[in-house]
Chains A and B, each alone.
Chain A
């Protein structure tokens, strides 16, 4: 094909969401006929950067050049006109319509809708690209991989020259991933520019021409895939490996005699969409320890937490509690506004949420508002939660203060087991340190903490032993003396030296 090469340059892009600096001066150059991978941990800024390019967000500073011409992309519609296509993780397809009708949405040229003609036209378009999709099929009847293909084709139909794929492999089976990669190869030969967002190292190395690594809102570097390797990329992703901090951990009460509070045996759990989210995980949680679960987001942590909480039934394997039934558990969930708090409820009511049956807050069968308020005031003071009073709705609190409230609720009454998912997320350094100290204190009093964190520093700082999850599998056990390179490799799916390909 004789089409001119096109370029996009993003220059010095900044973006801030209230307290969080999502992007701090990122540069990125894209061109047609190239697969450019954006690699980075969750929260590194990959998706934010692409949403800015696609007009979903406006940058606070910086500019975007299309073929050296500065443009302001105000909406996705404009991005589409500029030749951009965005395949998000959640597809934007109308399930009840056919493939052809989805293509035509917002792009129908004729005044009268002629289904047969449209379908023929779209089918020709699809066939010309050598992809196997029936234009007359209802989207609801397609597999996930096929839906993704429809999204890609739809963007091409709208004359996209650049395709942004946000974690395209996260929803696919290994066979579908092979398929996708073959299609991306074909697109590259046809001079389409592809942005491939991922945190999976092996895939990135396989498919891309160039790789840009983002960390904490900065572009750490861009390299050619050929001249790079997993170790170097891991180091870029994780940052300077910090020396394991062994000091200041206080006494370690665990002894051989420590009581086992939770036994997980060969646990298998299905995810909502069907496949296995966890494969044969086994571990024991002992009184007085903080057991870490490391891994990049979406490796099965959420399903593990739900299984331990009894919210998700194991497909196989067992979860055993010493008393037979689960003890009182404290929870700091991953998604504080969806899983943790009721935004419209007050601080006091949110505190009550996890202690609804606490007899200390009642008089007879009724709640005693005075006692609840007292507890709330005490908690607010103890944890330094900034709010007007216990009756303020938590949706008016800052994210950090919401997080403090969640932590306070989880450790209230020293439950024997606390499940903490990213407990210091969104907290400043001092507040994070305070929360970590709370968890340590809790353990010193004989409780156990299951610490699930995507922040490897936090795992190293808090836990004496931890394991790494990748794609639902336990990659290995480690402790703070294990090198961060080893752990980093496990986190991206590489068992010591060799690549670990999950078999679904």
Chain B
């Protein structure tokens, strides 16, 4: 996306337009810069001992598939827009402005990336352990459900207390949901792919049941909950925008997960059982227990995302609370190489893409379906270009 988007302003030869101002601006705020520095940090962590030229070569080697994937997806997406009878150049400009056009657009992009940060982390922990958690969506919904319940039904004396208690409860709810799949996997040898997808469907129906019943708004008009009480909501972080504290929590958790995976014994064990469970077993690592821990953590992280979305953005629960965050998260996690820090730019990118396609809907009247097609192209391209790595990560699964 970024390649063609960056090129389009100069191509349309409109210096001084908002999009051009924006370009300079973004290089300051700059998800790109963040991406770059994180990418370097990530690489350098693996290749500490490489000389600096080698380091740069390594960065190039590691990064190019992602960039090619994005370029291919951008072109495909714009081709679809052209097929639908719109100008590709206009579309590119509108999308870029929609994602980064002004301060509000940027914060909206960041906002859209928040649920992906959490679900992306969830996917990373599970995949690193060699577990295909396709259920981040359901775990997200469970978190949203529990958070709504506590945020609507309980009178909270202080926002901080609400934050702590609701956060922990949402986390546990997601852990429980993932725990079902984990128990089935470890003790009954049920494929977690199947069980987590099933649990997604159940979670969806559970939310439907609740917003039509016990949790429905007092007015009883729509299938949605009442608004969360003031104290249960997350603070807005930048005045005049909707960006809330959940974004910072997400970033902090990315750091925390990095610490866990690369600096703590539990994370090391998680990575070991993901890469070679048999060697881990012979090295005395309790494989089953570690796998369960990873899955509980994964579910909890996804559920925190649900809590943060309800308490920071929507303030209520409704059936469509997740438009498939748990699935987009898989693309985000893979694009971020299953690395908690490298995933941040990937999440920001997908957040920006969401904002961009919404702008496309607003300004060009492009069907939302088209927007989804563009997103799907990005996901396909990413997975396609990363296929080898994905196989490498997930190739050595237990029992196969």
A-to-B contact residues, CB < 8 Å: 309, 311, 329, 331, 333, 338-345, 349, 352-354, 356-357, 365-367, 369, 373, 388-391
Contact = CB atoms under 8 A, between A and B. Distances in A.
Given A354-B284, A391-B46, A391-B48, A339 B268 contact: no
B265 interface: yes
B268 A366 contact: no
Contacts of B278: 338-339
Contacts of B339: none
Interface string B250-282: 000000000100111100110110011011111
Given A349-B268, A353-B280, A366-B264, 4 more contacts: A339-B281, A356-B265, A356-B285, A391-B46
B327 to A, nearest CB: 26
A353 B283 contact: yes
A240 B75 CA distance: 71
B279 A353 contact: yes
B49 interface: yes
B392 interface: yes
Contacts of A354: 283-284
A352 B264 contact: no
B47 A391 contact: yes
Contact of B276 (A343, A365, A366, A389): A343
Contacts of B48: 369, 373, 391
Contact of B281 (A311, A345, A369): A311
Contacts of B276: 338, 341-343
Contacts of B280: 342, 353
Given A389-B49, A391-B46, A339 B279 contact: yes
Nearest to B393: A344
Contacts of A340: 279, 282
A339 B281 CA distance: 8
8 contacts: A338-B279, A342-B280, A353-B272, A356-B265, A356-B272, A366-B264, A369-B263, A391-B48
Given A331-B282, A356-B269, A391-B48, A345 B275 contact: yes
A345 B46 CA distance: 10
Interface in B214-239: none
A331 B48 CA distance: 29
A167 B276 CA distance: 28
Interface string B276-306: 1011111111000000000000000000000
A279 B280 CA distance: 28
A345 B264 contact: no
Interface residues of B, number: 24
Contacts of A367: 262-265, 268
* B contact face: mostly helix, strand, loop, or mixed: helix
Nearest to A363: B263
Contacts of B271: 345
Most buried by A among B46, B263, B271: B263
A390 B47 CA distance: 10
B282 A311 contact: yes
Interface string B97-128: 00000000000000000000000000000000
Contacts of B283: 331, 353-354, 356
A355 to B, nearest CB: 9
A352 B282 contact: no
Contacts of A366: 259, 263-264
A359 to B, nearest CB: 11
Nearest to B273: A342
A376 to B, nearest CB: 11
Which 5 A-B pairs have CB atoms at the shortest separation, nearest pair first?
A: A389-B49, A342-B276, A339-B282, A366-B263, A353-B283
B279 A344 contact: no
A357 B272 contact: no
Contacts of B275: 342-345
Nearest to A346: B46
Interface string B140-183: 00000000000000000000000000000000000000000000
B195 to A, nearest CB: 21
A344 B282 contact: no
Contacts of A343: 275-276
A331 B281 CA distance: 12
Interface string B70-92: 00000000000000000000000
Nearest to B282: A339
A338 B283 CA distance: 11
A365 B256 CA distance: 13
Contacts of B259: 366
Contacts of B263: 366-367, 369
Given A353-B272, A366-B259, A333 B282 contact: yes
B164 to A, nearest CB: 22
A333 B259 CA distance: 31
A365 B276 CA distance: 24
Given A365-B264, A366-B259, A342 B49 contact: no
Contacts of A390: 49
B46 A342 contact: no
Contacts of B49: 388-391
Nearest to B266: A356
A345 B396 CA distance: 13
Nearest to A343: B276
A338 B276 CA distance: 7
A440 to B, nearest CB: 24
Nearest to A361: B265
A352 B263 CA distance: 12
A354 B281 CA distance: 10
B4 to A, nearest CB: 34
A370 to B, nearest CB: 10
B394 to A, nearest CB: 12
Most interface-central of B46, B265, B280, B281 (chain A CB within 10 A): B265
Contacts of A391: 46-49
A34 B103 CA distance: 86
Contacts of B269: 356
Contacts of A345: 271-272, 275
A356 B281 CA distance: 13
